Amino acid sequence: MSISVRLPDGSTLDVEEGATVQEVAYEIGPGLGSDTVAGVVDGTLVAREETLDSDVSLEIVTDDSDEYLDALRHTAAHVFAQALLRLHPDAKLAIGPWTDDGFYYDIAHVDLDEDDLKQIEAEAHRIIEADLTVDRLEMERADAIEYYEEAAPNRFKREILAEEASGEATVSFYEQGEFRDLCRGPHVRSTGEIGGFALLEMSAAYWRGDESNETLTRVYGTAFPSEAELESFLERREAAKERDHRRIGQEMDLFSIPEHSPGCVHFHPNGMRVRRELEEYVRTKNEELGYEEVWTPELNKKELWQKSGHLDFFGAEGEFYLWEQDGDEYGLKPMNCANHAYLYDREKWSYRDLPIRFSEFGTVYRNEQSGELSGLFRVRGMTQDDGHAFIRPDQIQAEITHTLSIIEELYGEFGLEAVYKLETKGDHSVGSDDIWARATEALRDALEERGLEYEIEEGEAAFYGPKIGLDAVDVLGREWTVGTVQLDFNIPERLDLIYIGEDNREHRPVMVHRALLGTFERFLGVMLEHFGGDFPTWLAPEQVRILPISDDQLEYANALADTFTGVRVTIADRSSTLGRKIQAAHDDRVPYMVIIGGNEEESGTISIRDRFERELDDIDPAAFKRALDEEIAAKRLEPAIIETWSDHE
């Protein structure tokens, strides 16, 4: 029997059923065959020894492929485990996958400190130096279970063999030197391919991510083909640590996520000031885009999402918060789409009425695992700046072009660079090929009309419609997913949404899902790391702090504060020296300090100082207030008043 293998260039190759990834590579060309490290089969990275048993798509992974790094880091995880067992023979290995930044290994029966990690890292470097060959070994599953009972007792591996691998007759191991691990691969050919290796940190983790299971130690590490790449990664990591939004958020007293509400954010008064600025900002943009603001309830019956398909398609029921009451099932909404579709469906629309657009600051809940929660970036409760437009198919391009123009403006105003991706139809999709082709074309035309550069991600779209992915690049060059613009053919179909066309017949609208900032929680986190807490004046929770040199100027300070209408201004704490007051304002990341002593009071002037420690004396308070209003209205990224005034002197 032969099977058909689809290659990245669109061509197909017929090969014998049961051929391995590497054998197919040899068929394509002997050079490629010998360079093969692994394969990507139907989107999944697999070992080069993996056999192909049905028609598939295949991409060969060599040293030059992006996926090479994943295989290299998987080998690095094994190197870590080997070094660990050399120094701590009683340790038990659980699982050790690669991640976006490196790898981790969950281990048990060992108590490690910083010193131990250093020694393990040194041992790992010896293993890399020794350039051990990495070999794959197939074993009957029964023999593998026996191996983990007798030769190398390990109940975690036995559990994996009994559960994940229960349907397999044979399983694979990887060996390097004296080390052997149950593993599907892929791996690079030898440990010497690792050029840079470092262990990063430890944390606790539960076996299988389940809190009722035993606690394991998770050791994080990373690896690169070269030492230089590792060095630059470590530098970026250090810079990112200094900007950690959890630390800065605490220093600025913006928010907390206490024990009584894991994954749910409490916004403090300072944090709420920032959030309200963001809300007002988005409201203005939504008005420009023609959205009508609505509010829909968080509590709904489960049938709402059964009808819309969210329950089936957008994640297992486990991601929903659901419970029973009076014989009905209720839940907290995980998204606002179905509620907005209901609002559309309340009325009969004609083709002339469309687009119909609803926006909402919608609070949604998703049942994330506790181990996955991370500051403002991974939460259970979040408020999206959500919006849905119901449009005619012929309106797609105009709608998306307008939305993109607002998004470009928005990214610019936050000093972010945008990366656009056009995600096209995948294998499992709803809607006809015709509507997909026309919609994808319309998205492409919109991107081109705006003159935006974009990458095409073939087959990456969700099943319900093509999408423009928007990633924001921050000052450290890190990419964040914040907003989204997505077309949907599915919900209008499932909920039977219609409008009456020019031909007097019923037609299906297209639904556009879009968010400009994403969620306020995540966006605040991204902004904290992007600005390192030094918000532009318009966003700063406290914009001006008045610092009286002594208590004698308190009255003048109060009178001044009263004139700063519409500006978030405070007066410094009385009980400290001027030096301390300046330091405190600096620590709180206040853009401007107004310093007043006896001379200023007498002459009715002020001294100003900005967060860059630039100063100007003898300033007319009214002139400063006008300049401040202008800076805030213009949403300048940095305090610029002193710089501008100094240049003009």
Q: Using CB under 5 A as the criterion, which residues of the chain lie in contact with Zn ion when the complex forms?
A: 183, 337, 513
In terms of CB distance, is 513 or 530 closer to Zn ion? 513
| Residue among 390 and 523 whose Cβ is closer to Zn ion | 390
- Do residues 340 and 294 lie in contact, with contact meaning Cβ atoms separated by under 8 Å? yes
Cβ-based neighbours of 241, under 8 Å, separated by 6 or more: none
Would you state the structure tokens that stand for residue 169, as one six-digit string?
């007759």
DSSP, collapsed to helix, strand or coil, labels residue 117 as: helix
Q: For residue 501, give the 3-state DSSP assignment.
A: coil
Distance CA 568, CA 564 (A): 8
Beta bridge mates, 419: 471
Residues labelled as active-site residues: 337, 366, 384, 386, 388, 467, 513
CB of 82 to Zn ion, least distance (A): 11
Rounded to the nearest whole angstrom, what is the least distance from the CB of residue 305 to Zn ion in the complex?
A: 12
Residue with tokens 């699982």, as numbered in its chain = 95
Cβ at position 491, least distance to Zn ion in Å:
8
Q: How far is the CB of 605 from Zn ion (least distance, A)?
A: 54
To Zn ion, the closest distance from the beta carbon of 486 in angstroms equals 7
Q: Which is nearer to Zn ion, 183 or 400 (CB)?
A: 183
Q: d(Cα 108, Cα 90) in Å, to the nearest integer?
A: 9
By C-beta, is 337 or 572 nearer to Zn ion? 337
What is the distance between the alpha carbons of residues 280 and 272, in angstroms, rounded to a whole number?
Answer: 12
Dihedrals phi, psi of 496, to nearest 5 degrees: 55, 50
Output 270 or 490, the one with its CB closest to Zn ion: 490
* Structure tokens given for 513: 């899902």
Query: Least separation, in Å, of the C-beta of 74 and Zn ion?
Result: 6
Distance (Å, rounded) from C-alpha 189 to C-alpha 591?
Answer: 54
Tokens of 396: 């797609």
For 204, phi then psi, to 5°, come to -95, 150
> What angle is formed at CA 351 by the lines to CA 350 and CA 353, rounded to 5 degrees?
70
**Shortest approach of Zn ion to residue 326 CB, angstroms?**
29
Sign of the CA dihedral 169, 175, 179, 183?
Answer: negative
Tell me whether residue 467 or residue 545 sits nearer to Zn ion (CB atom): 467
In the complex, least distance from residue 474 CB atom to Zn ion, rounded to whole angstroms: 25
Please identify the residue of the shown chain whose CB is closest to the bound Zn ion.
183
Sequence-ordered strand ranges (E) for 442-509: 454-457, 467-473, 479-488, 499-500, 506-507
Whether a cis peptide bond, with omega within 30° of 0, leads into 186 is: yes
CA distance 232 to 58: 32
| Number of residues written out for the chain | 649
Nearer to Zn ion, 5 or 81 (CB): 81
Specify the residue, 183 or 376, whose C-beta has the smaller distance to Zn ion. 183
**Spatial distance between the Cα atoms of 105 and 89, rounded to a whole number of angstroms:** 16
Q: Which residues contact 637 (CB under 8 A, 6 or more apart)?
A: 414, 415, 536
The first and second tokens of residue 437, run together, are 């082709």
Alpha-carbon dihedral 571, 574, 576, 580, rounded to 10 degrees? 0
User: What's the min distance (Å) between Cβ of 515 and Zn ion?
Assistant: 8
Which residue lies nearer to Zn ion by CB, 154 or 553? Answer: 154
CB atoms within 10 A of CB 554: 14
